[in-house]
Structure 1
């Protein structure tokens, strides 16, 4: 098989790159070893960030989030649930941190309204008596299975070939650099390869003798039965375990931990993390303490640590587009690493800009203006999820069977 660009990885970023390139007229093949959305995207907490979480310590990342928040609310339809978010200050939490975050949000034009404890409890029944203040921001919920499937469908409508259950075993290299990749059954020759394998990007790069410094960290998510929440809850403190509650229809997702792992395919499950998520999140929403467990799952963040100096939650959540011709002297390969589900479209745009520049293709990005296929029809979106085998635990309770 021959193509202009081969994209390896069928999570949100990979399908986003395939969509963007295909809309620019580039011949694209996307290959994913399992069904789409099988990695980090489908095992996230599904939070569409407003940028408030990052405002005081990462203003550039916060600007990206609020911009993409608005874009996805415009183009993704039933793949997004437009709730609100509250950053909640509990008794004992540092009030200066709340004030710093509020000032940063206002500096960045992230809408933020402050409520005292009583008004916050009126706004969101079930909050504890220990609430002192809450900040209302435009967080929302992403259903990643629908988002990934619809993005893949758009890529296909614009001419891309989407291959599921097609494991890439390694990159094809010659003296001129990377010229494609190979599966157990065939070679896929390409003018350029995009490594969008997320937490697995380092392993793919090693097949071309490239050292890509990934530091994957796992996060535990716990879904419990709870049908009386329509607002994302964030604990207003420095990022820590158990500080997010994400509402679905009849359940809520409690998250999350951040534990460095050696192997993203290793055994990630840890029952102690489940109990810790429930206990910590019960400080925000006491009713989850005894709520019935629906399911628990673990995801692996594709964090990139080039300097080796940051650890754990200190590693950048930003994204990086890496040109391996410049970085490693290996032409024909670009890696996109890091980032967040909220910014997947922006990550794809930056990657497509880079790749089209290398290919000499002159075409602008249009992914922020064109609505995703079937966006307003949940049943059709769920049909696409089944077609691409894109179901994941992050929104399994929401999808129609």
Structure 2
């Protein structure tokens, strides 16, 4: 039998952006309920490569996006504690790579305030002992690692500390509208009345919006990640070339996560996990560290990027297959986010937040909360950049939140639940 609950704001989606919105609104005194159809971080967030981007990856192509990344990189280091690791990062050029590209990236990174420094090849080999002899130039940048399960669970726990309700395994079945505005939703059989609804479902934003009679065109792309046994990678390692398959390796406890591919899919729930993607990722990453080629594969997983189709069409990114998947079209610049207000679509109070990346989830949440608070008449500033997440310095406590919210995910399964301090 359907029961009725009231909340000011219903947030749909339990990835990093969704829990970030819930935390931000709750800290401003808004009554907020978050609902997720599975466990938290079950979607794209928990299936990412988990890089805390410095912005250097995007600096020469998207200045604004790079500035956003470095600002949020520094913020997360301050507030997220054991949810991130300060590994540092390197970009390396090999003999076949374009030297002019290296120069452009270095200059652009410095221009936007990223602490990027060219270092000797010998210094890079000291930081990454297994580097190929084919390295010609190297750049040090302040990249890091995010443990997505921890980040999402700690953010959700912090939102709850400020009064938010967090509901897992509670799918949204209907979104209710009347007189040109949203009125709530049916969540796992219960009616939830709300003054505003935020669609933070990422790659599933189109499906969620359709429940409200709204069209949000997404272009999801799948990417393969490969976890291999490898001790001592140290920093995040990036290939200094136009973004392409197999150009990043991320250090974890006793292994490296290699990524990734980019192939357009029709359905973020149904796609093939193809062996050619795994082989390509390993082969390409082995050009940077030859030992990756013979390392034992411990895990493979795929994530689906929440790309907003109008942005991708504007960029000229095309459909890609196994034959053309190395061109890097969908990854060439920063994944800017879009906040869609559906008032012009006849559903006032309904918002979709799409695009973006894990590193910038907090500022995406801030922009969303600003808009929602404006509608609700709430006069309160964002405080999420200044307050540490609850339990942020206690790995055992945060991993307890991961279990409580069923937030375990493949992106950091080798770290979460280990001995306190593992992976830090």
Alignment TM-score > 0.5, same fold: yes
Match of 1:155 among 156, 159, 176: 159
Residue 223 of structure 2 aligns to a residue whose secondary structure is strand
Residue equivalent to 1:318: 336
Query: What are the residue-to-residue correspondences of 1:143-292 with 2, within 5 Å?
Result: 143-292=147-296
Residue 309 of structure 2 aligns to a residue whose secondary structure is coil
CA distance in 1, matches of 2:156, 2:274: 33
CA distance in 1, matches of 2:350, 2:189: 22
CA distance in 1, matches of 2:416, 2:211: 37
Residue equivalent to 1:126: 130
CA contact 2:6–2:192 (8 Å) conserved in 1 = yes
**CA 215–30 in structure 1, closer or farther in 2 if over 3 Å, else same:** same
Residue 52 of structure 1 aligns to a residue whose secondary structure is coil
Query: What are the residue-to-residue correspondences of 1:39-188 with 2, within 5 Å?
Result: 39-188=43-192
RMSD: 1.1
Residue equivalent to 2:397: 380
CA distance in 1, matches of 2:141, 2:48: 20
Residue 391 of structure 1 aligns to a residue whose secondary structure is coil
- The alignment status of 1:342 with 2:354, answered yes or no, reads no
Residue 169 of structure 1 aligns to a residue whose secondary structure is strand
Deviation at 1:269, TM superposition (A): 1.0
Deviation at 1:139, TM superposition (A): 0.1
CA distance in 2, matches of 1:268, 1:103: 40
Match of 2:297 among 286, 293, 296: 293
CA distance in 2, matches of 1:102, 1:285: 22
Deviation at 1:116, TM superposition (A): 2.7
Residue equivalent to 1:25: 29
CA contact 2:9–2:198 (8 Å) conserved in 1 = yes
CA distance in 1, matches of 2:189, 2:206: 23
CA distance in 1, matches of 2:272, 2:22: 30
The runs of 4+ residues in structure 1 deviating greater than 3 Å are 312-316
Deviation at 1:306, TM superposition (A): 1.8
- The alignment status of 1:5 with 2:23, answered yes or no, reads no
CA distance in 2, matches of 1:387, 1:321: 30
CA contact 2:42–2:407 (8 Å) conserved in 1 = yes
My pick for the range that moved more, 108-117 or 227-236, is 108-117
Deviation at 1:119, TM superposition (A): 2.7
CA contact 1:65–1:342 (8 Å) conserved in 2 = yes
Gaps of 5+ in 1: none
CA contact 1:268–1:298 (8 Å) conserved in 2 = no
CA distance in 2, matches of 1:311, 1:378: 40
CA distance in 2, matches of 1:330, 1:47: 36
CA distance in 1, matches of 2:176, 2:251: 44
Residue 172 of structure 2 aligns to a residue whose secondary structure is coil
TM-score, normalization: structure 1?
0.98
Residue 26 of structure 2 aligns to a residue whose secondary structure is helix
TM-score, normalization: structure 2?
0.93
CA contact 1:218–1:268 (8 Å) conserved in 2 = no
Residue 201 of structure 1 aligns to a residue whose secondary structure is helix
Gaps of 5+ in 2: 319-327, 419-424
My pick for the range that moved more, 382-391 or 208-217, is 208-217
Residue 306 of structure 1 aligns to a residue whose secondary structure is helix
My pick for the range that moved more, 313-322 or 284-293, is 313-322
CA contact 2:91–2:239 (8 Å) conserved in 1 = yes
Residue equivalent to 1:355: 372
My pick for the range that moved more, 5-14 or 268-277, is 268-277
Residue 294 of structure 2 aligns to a residue whose secondary structure is coil
